[in-house]
């Protein structure tokens, strides 16, 4: 059996066998290079294109997302600013409304006070007028009674000049204004 291996070993090292191995190796290398070139043209190039296309899409998607994120943050900031402005406007409007209500209240109170004062003044004038009329009525009654009493005492009718003198005397004794002041 050792002999068989030794015989084969000699065949393995023979120039014909080695040349065959060399040709097979060259063919294998050439085949490998052709396969690599073919795969590069058929498989790697389209695969690289697909990969680069997907990478480009991913980059675009990321940049679009970042832009949307910036836009959203900008909108959020604008909304916060707008909300702040609206809050300030509402506060100003509330203060203005309260100021107007206070002014209207003060005006209403002033008007009511003025009306009350006017009514009191009117009531005072009416009371004074009624007092004057009542005084005039009492004065006229007093004059009539005095004229009647004088007429009964003297058993004669009282003359007009006597009646006028009697009226002056009664007016002076009770401190009444003249007839022009009484009729007003």
pLDDT, one tens digit per residue, over 132-153 is: 888 888 878 877 777 777 777 7
How many angstroms separate the CA atoms of 165 and 144, rounded? 13
Range of the domain at 83: 2-183
pLDDT, one tens digit per residue, over 35-61 is: 988 888 888 888 888 899 999 999 999
How many angstroms separate the CA atoms of 33 and 26, rounded? 10
DSSP state string for the chain: -HHHHHHHHHHHTSHHHHHHHHHHHHHHHHHHHHHHHHHIIIIIHHHHHHHHHHHHHHHHHHHHHHHHHHHHHHHHHHHHHHHHHHHHHHHHHHHHHHHHHHHHHHHHHHHHHHHHHHHHHHHHHHHHHHHHHHHHHHHHHHHHHHHHHHHHHHTSPPPHHHHHHHHHHHHHHHT---HHHHH-
User: Token pair 């997907």 is at which residue?
Assistant: 54
User: What's the domain count of the chain?
Assistant: 1
Q: Taking 50 as the threshold, does the pLDDT of residue 182 lie above it? A: no
pTM (predicted TM-score): 0.40
pLDDT, one tens digit per residue, over 103-136 is: 999 999 999 999 999 999 999 999 989 888 888 8
Residue 176 backbone dihedrals phi, psi, to 5 degrees: -95, 150
Burial (CB count within 10 angstroms: exposed 0-12, middle 13-18, buried 19+), residue 83: exposed
Judged by average pLDDT, the poorest of 1-5, 39-43, 73-77, 143-147 is 1-5
Percent of the chain topping pLDDT 90: 44
Dihedral (CA of 72, 76, 82, 83) sign: positive
Confidence of residue 6 (pLDDT cuts 50, 70, 90): low
């Amino acid at each position: 059996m050792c002999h068989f291996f030794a015989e084969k070993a000699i065949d393995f090292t023979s120039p014909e066998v080695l040349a065959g191995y060399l040709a097979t190796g060259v063919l294998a290398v050439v085949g490998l290079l052709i396969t690599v070139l073919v795969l590069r043209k058929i498989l790697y190039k389209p695969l690289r294109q697909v990969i680069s296309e997907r990478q480009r899409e991913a980059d675009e998607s990321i940049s679009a997302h970042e832009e949307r994120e910036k836009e959203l943050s900008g909108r959020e900031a604008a909304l916060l600013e707008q909300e702040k402005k609206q809050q300030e406007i509402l506060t100003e409007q509330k203060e203005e409304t309260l100021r107007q209500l206070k002014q209207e209240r003060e005006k209403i109170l002033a008007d009511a006070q003025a009306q009350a004062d006017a009514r009191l003044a009117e009531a005072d004038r009416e009371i004074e007028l009624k007092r004057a009329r009542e005084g005039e009525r009492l004065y006229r009654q007093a004059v009539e009674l005095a004229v009647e009493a004088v007429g009964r005492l003297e058993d004669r009718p009282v003359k007009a000049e006597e009646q006028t003198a009697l009226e002056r005397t009664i007016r002076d004794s009770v401190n009444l204004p003249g007839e022009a002041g009484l009729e007003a």
